[in-house]
Amino acid sequence: MRYLPLTPDDREAMLATIGVQSIDDLFLDVPEAARLDGPVNLPLRATELEVERAFARMAKKNISAGEAAFFVGAGAYKHHVPSSVDHLIQRSEFLTAYTPYQPEISQGTLQTLFEFQTQVARLTGMDVANASMYDGSTACAEAVLMAARVTRRSKAVLSGNLHPHYAAATHTACKYMDIATASQAPVPGALDDMIAAIDEETACVVVQNPDVFGRVHDLAPIAEAAHAKGALLIAVVTEIVSLGLMKSPGEMGADIVVGEGQSIGVGLQFGGPYVGLFACRNDRNFLRNMPGRLAGETVDAAGRRGFVLTLSTREQHIRRDKATSNICTNSGLMALAFTIHMTLLGEKGLRQLATLNHEAACTLADALANVPGVELVTPTFFNEFTVKLPKDAAGVTESLIAKGVLAGVPASRLYPGKGLDNLLIIAATETNTQADIDLFARALKEVL
């Protein structure tokens, strides 16, 4: 077997050194009833070529984003990632390293995490950021748990325009922790009234910006209302590229910002692995209640700067049942991809990228709004907007496939049974050409 270096002779010699007759002697603690007499009922080993054939056969059954005029978003976005990013994250020293528990031989990982934390803090307008969470939705859930610890309150108000998967993940994470999460009804094109729902027991208000329908909001009034009642504002950003053009949540008064970093460096990958961003104010109480790993600066025994994982007493491997979270493995490699891509972009590139995204969305929105029967629902947006169609959006999406268009996400897929069946959530990015946009508008006209 190509991955197993021991030869039959090696195995014999090693068994002799150990002082046993056969490999079975090393499995004697297994209860007899549970010992298998032969291999399990699965195929036997395969060559590289055989595996490649099997995978190619399955991959061919999918329509990849690059094969269509592609406008699907709602929490994951198709962006172009520079070739050097994938090359660098496949460096053995990054790809095949473990968590940097031995800092003397992990400075590569630790320094890039420190860079990642700084980039995320600056983008979101926050003071500090952690070394990543699994993804945006779990980061959102963890933020609510943290807000409950910080405020010692047990109610969370979730905007109805928060991505329903994020709301569901948050609800699930809170349901056995005696934290009540109340999701408001969605209001496509505007925003639900969260302010009325805040009271003295509210730990936090969770708002997504741009929201799941694409509309952008000024968070300042919500922040003010939350703070007036002693609650925290958690801002959720699922399209991080938007922060290249838009005011940061920190500037608008957010206390904790969580986000999905997938747009930068990561790629679509059918939903994962992605990279959860988690940033907050630099308040002692906040820091001590943060989930996840933190890289921090220090010096070595010769006085040279170096980085270590720090404030670990918050974490499960030390604090066990009193830890701030059970998270251990995070999304280190995706955080690295994010950092490299962001370093290649720089501020100048990020602003250009964000501008191109916004322009593509504006052009597409105008083109679609010209199709008879189509109505733009979101008056403001970044790179994603919602339109109302004269008929069921899921059916329309399905009929556009044959015309080479993956048109977007029907709102009914995220909000089934909420009367939003004619709404279609559409994203445009720098990857869309004018030809894609023209094709979409033409095809939509044909199927309506």
- What tokens were used for 193? 């009234």
Q: Is the peptide bond before 82 cis (omega within 30 degrees of 0)?
A: no
Between 74 and 194, name the residue whose CB sits nearer to another protein: 74
Contact between 337 and 266 (Cβ < 8 Å)? yes
- What tokens were used for 438? 């023209």
Residue 133 is classified by DSSP as B
CB of 194 to another protein, least distance (A): 18
Return the residue of 213, 217, 421, 426 that touches another protein, per CB under 8 A: 217
CB of 217 to another protein, least distance (A): 8
Return the residue of 84, 193, 199, 228 that touches another protein, per CB under 8 A: 84
Q: Which stretch binds another protein (CB under 8 A): 182-190, 194-202, 346-354, 438-446?
A: 346-354
Q: Establish if 442 lies at the interface with another protein (CB under 8 A).
A: no
CB of 230 to another protein, least distance (A): 17
Binding mask 163-192 toward another protein (x if CB under 8 A, else -) reads x-xx-xx-xxx-xxxx--------------
Q: Establish if 102 lies at the interface with another protein (CB under 8 A).
A: yes
Between 390 and 416, name the residue whose CB sits nearer to another protein: 416
Contact between 300 and 306 (Cβ < 8 Å)? yes
Q: Establish if 391 lies at the interface with another protein (CB under 8 A).
A: no
In 3D, which of 176, 188, 185 has the Cα closest to residue 157?
185
221-240: contacts with another protein (CB under 8 A): none
In 3D, which of 35, 65, 187, 37 has the Cα closest to residue 436?
65
Between 25 and 446, name the residue whose CB sits nearer to another protein: 25
Between 192 and 315, name the residue whose CB sits nearer to another protein: 315
Return the residue of 122, 227, 281, 445 that touches another protein, per CB under 8 A: 122
Return the residue of 82, 392, 403, 445 that touches another protein, per CB under 8 A: 82
In 3D, which of 164, 174, 118, 120 has the Cα closest to residue 142?
174
Q: Establish if 447 lies at the interface with another protein (CB under 8 A).
A: no
Distance CA 282, CA 285 (A): 9
CB of 195 to another protein, least distance (A): 18
Please state, in angstroms and as integers, the Cα–Cα distance from residue 426 to each residue in 74, 141, 383, 393, following that order.
8, 26, 8, 11
Q: Establish if 147 lies at the interface with another protein (CB under 8 A).
A: no
In 3D, which of 262, 270, 273 has the Cα closest to residue 238?
262
Q: Establish if 247 lies at the interface with another protein (CB under 8 A).
A: yes
Burial 117-131 (b: 16+ CB within 10 A, else e): bebbbbbbbbebbbb
Residues 6+ apart with CB under 8 A from 40: none
Contact between 338 and 332 (Cβ < 8 Å)? no
Return the residue of 66, 185, 372, 435 that touches another protein, per CB under 8 A: 66
Q: Which stretch binds another protein (CB under 8 A): 115-123, 184-192, 196-204, 227-235?
A: 115-123
Q: Establish if 423 lies at the interface with another protein (CB under 8 A).
A: no
Between 119 and 184, name the residue whose CB sits nearer to another protein: 119
Q: Establish if 278 lies at the interface with another protein (CB under 8 A).
A: no
Residue 205, classed as helix, strand or coil, is: strand
The DSSP result for 307-333, as a single string, is EEE--GGGSHHHHGGG-S----S--HH
286-315: contacts with another protein (CB under 8 A): 287-288, 293-308, 310-313, 315
Q: Establish if 440 lies at the interface with another protein (CB under 8 A).
A: no
Q: Where are the beta strands (DSSP E) in 329-430?
A: 375-376, 384-388, 405-406, 409-410, 423-427
The DSSP result for 142-184, as a single string, is HHHHHHHHHHT--EEEE-TTS-HHHHHHHHHHHHTTT-EEEEP
312-341: contacts with another protein (CB under 8 A): 312-313, 315-323, 325-334, 336, 340
Q: Which stretch binds another protein (CB under 8 A): 97-105, 221-229, 367-375, 435-443?
A: 97-105
CB atoms within 10 A of CB 379: 10
Q: Cα 404 to the chain's mean position, in Å?
A: 27
Q: Establish if 253 lies at the interface with another protein (CB under 8 A).
A: no
CB of 201 to another protein, least distance (A): 19
Q: Establish if 369 lies at the interface with another protein (CB under 8 A).
A: no
Residue corresponding to tokens 């109505």: 375
Between 226 and 266, name the residue whose CB sits nearer to another protein: 266
Amino acid at 140: C
- What tokens were used for 248? 């940061």
Residue 275 is classified by DSSP as -
Contact between 232 and 255 (Cβ < 8 Å)? yes
Between 204 and 410, name the residue whose CB sits nearer to another protein: 410
26-55: contacts with another protein (CB under 8 A): 26-27, 29-31, 33-36, 39-46, 48, 50-52, 54-55
Q: Establish if 267 lies at the interface with another protein (CB under 8 A).
A: yes
Between 193 and 366, name the residue whose CB sits nearer to another protein: 366
Number of residues in contact with another protein, rule: CB under 8 A? 209
